[in-house]
Structure 1
Amino acid sequence: MAILVTGAAGFVGSRVSRRLLDRGEEVIGIDNINTYYDPALKEARLAPLLGEKGFTFVRGDIADTEAVLSAVRGRRVDRVVHLAAQAGVRYSLEAPRAYIRSNISGHLEILELCRAFEGFKHLVYASSSSVYGGNEKVPFSEADRVDTPVSLYAATKKADELMSHVYSHLFEIPQTGLRYFTVYGPFGRPDMAYWSFTKNIIEGKPIKVFNNGEMWRDFTYIDDIVTGTIAALDKPPASDGPLHRIYNIGNNRPEKLSRFIDILEELIGVAAVREMAPMQPGDVVRTYADTAAIERDFGFKPSTSLETGLRAFVGWYREYFKV
């Protein structure tokens, strides 16, 4: 049996595919390698996987019914890790249709695909901490209300959770949704603050510090995210309980933006030129994951400190870009 990984050229998807291959799984990866950020980075993530025993890659759009069906035609798939999505909170204000197509239509296509597989075991999909919106109660708990999103991106991720609940209820598809909290690390996304700050500090350019630095994020290192994702995949919901579950997956330790910049300055060896700026539309002041449920059910406990994770990223960045 094969595992389908959507977004296989993405930051998390490529790492999940690697981990699954390393333990002997057969993996089918699909990704449209869009131009939201430099496709060369996606190709670089994908390159080590191509030609690996057990790995098949299909270039295709998950919102395209035929592309999804073609990816698995003639193959037996019993598990799906659905990580493909249009990412980015701020970009959702500029290109809303891209989010509806990828995050809602694309999620529907994956649900329909899982519904069609006989003996299907488990769909694990990526939700987001963004669903908590401007929630002021911390830490964020899976039991909190999440019906006041502050960005279209967040709204699409909440919609995914609702759609998954319906499909688990109507068609008995076992599903686990993971609310990722600020994933970072080598080969990460260029639209994230840790990447743009590193780039600008090295190049001597100013960095914009939103809300005058009064922001906190629950930064979660990529290796911890992959470990938690696969732990969830390996333990589908029991047939005698709810078939759709939601978990936070974060570091359970919010870090202030100013401290985050301090660490980068020390690692790079250059003082940042900080430009204070107001809060941006769609952004939130704080994210903070209550991880009691995922620790209880899967033994998930992140082990990478922010200093260790940023050191790995800065080292990778310097090597990758030769700076």
Structure 2
Amino acid sequence: MVSHIFVTGCAGFIGFHLSKRLLDEGVHVLGIDNINNYYDMSLKNDRLNILTKYRNFCFIRGSIENLELLESLFDQYDINIVVNLAAQAGVRYSLENPHAYIQSNLVGFANILDCCKKHQIKHLIYASSSSVYGDNKQIPFSVGDRVDHPISLYAATKKANELMAYTYSHLYNLPTTGLRLFTVYGPWGRPDMAAFKFANAILRQQPIEVYNHGNMKRDFTYIDDVIESIFRLIQKDPPTESFAFYKIYNIGNHQPVQLNYFIQVLEEQLGKKAVVKLLPLQPGDVLETYADIEELVNDINFKPKTPIEEGISKFVSWFKQYNKTP
């Protein structure tokens, strides 16, 4: 039986890019996604159409909340590594629809953990988030910092994922690696995130909502750097030193960028000025994110490094082509 890497959320932004990288490397990928309507389903289907052209890709439409479905997949396929990227994303949406986060991020993740335990999976890699740091005052954010005060339900579910993973690692020697991802952007990105949302509004000469008057910093991380980091973690031996089967990494660019500068670069690449609507800081938002990535760099010998100017240029090139904009 052919061995597969199981990628959940394979039609999502990061899941798509990771699946494509693995497929290009000749890896057999089993992907699952429920193609929900949190954002434009046509974007998810367009990503999926690229993946389904690969002979070494098998797609299942379904939700990780469906334990019966998951168990059947683990029984049917030889899965040795799981990369769990399926989740209900978005900080602000968690204020509107908390139950979606409980189901996908908690119930779904519990199902993944249990199937990994039963089938003695070699390594579970899962997406956490920089949001777990909350309004952390210590800069840059280190994986050793306390993260006991999430300021959104989304962040709370991601912190819960880390705790759940730790418990399974401790009780069952299940190797788990959590990824605290910092503001990922790039081609095929989500429409609810800044790059896509702002670019769309700027080209249509519609106002963009800029919170805290743009006086926020984000550790924007280009998608290719994220995928290279995950790919190297997949290739690396899982955490099994003595009793420590559990690991957490920050994946960030280690270079926070002022939101106002981010908008300026977008304007330059699009050749249009933004119509800006200045608003106060929103509930659940933080003033700055900044990743300490020393441990990641030491362990995988790779440092995310794409400057915002280069990353935005590549994003805008894709955005114009995808939206057939001159």
- TM norm structure 1: 0.98
Select 1:287's aligned residue among 274, 286, 289: 289
| CA distance, structure 1, for counterparts of residue 231 and residue 141 of structure 2 | 22
| CA distance, structure 2, for counterparts of residue 29 and residue 72 of structure 1 | 12
**Counterpart residue identity of residue 89, structure 2:** A
The alignment-based identity, stated in percent, is 53
**Counterpart residue identity of residue 259, structure 2:** L
Report the counterpart of residue 322 of structure 1 in structure 2. Answer: 324
Report the counterpart of residue 271 of structure 2 in structure 1. Answer: 269
2:6 paired with 1:4: yes
Report the counterpart of residue 80 of structure 1 in structure 2. Answer: 82
Task: Pick which of 153-162 and 69-78 moved more.
Answer: 69-78
Select 1:35's aligned residue among 27, 34, 37: 37
Give unmatched runs, 5+ long, in structure 2.
none
Contact 2:180 2:248 in 1 (8 A): yes
Give unmatched runs, 5+ long, in structure 1.
none
Report the counterpart of residue 171 of structure 1 in structure 2. Answer: 172
Report the counterpart of residue 297 of structure 1 in structure 2. Answer: 299
CA deviation map 1:114-169 (0-9, x unaligned)? 01114x21000000000000011100000000000000000000000000000000
| CA distance, structure 1, for counterparts of residue 231 and residue 177 of structure 2 | 11
| CA distance, structure 1, for counterparts of residue 276 and residue 4 of structure 2 | 48
Per-residue deviation at 1:239?
4.3
Report the counterpart of residue 196 of structure 1 in structure 2. Answer: 197
Per-residue deviation at 1:71?
3.0
Partner SS for 2:76: coil
| CA distance, structure 2, for counterparts of residue 230 and residue 154 of structure 1 | 25
Partner SS for 2:89: coil
Stretches of 4+ moved more than 6 A in 1?
Answer: none
Alignment of 1:76-225 (within 5 A): 76-118=78-120, 120-225=121-226
Partner SS for 1:73: helix
Count the aligned residue pairs. Answer: 322
Contact 1:82 1:124 in 2 (8 A): yes
| CA distance, structure 2, for counterparts of residue 263 and residue 162 of structure 1 | 38
| CA distance, structure 1, for counterparts of residue 270 and residue 156 of structure 2 | 37
Report the counterpart of residue 255 of structure 1 in structure 2. Answer: 257
Partner SS for 1:58: strand
Contact 2:177 2:246 in 1 (8 A): yes
CA deviation map 1:266-311 (0-9, x unaligned)? 1111111111110011111100000001001111201311111111
Partner SS for 1:4: strand
**Counterpart residue identity of residue 158, structure 1:** K
Contact 1:175 1:243 in 2 (8 A): yes
| CA distance, structure 1, for counterparts of residue 276 and residue 8 of structure 2 | 38
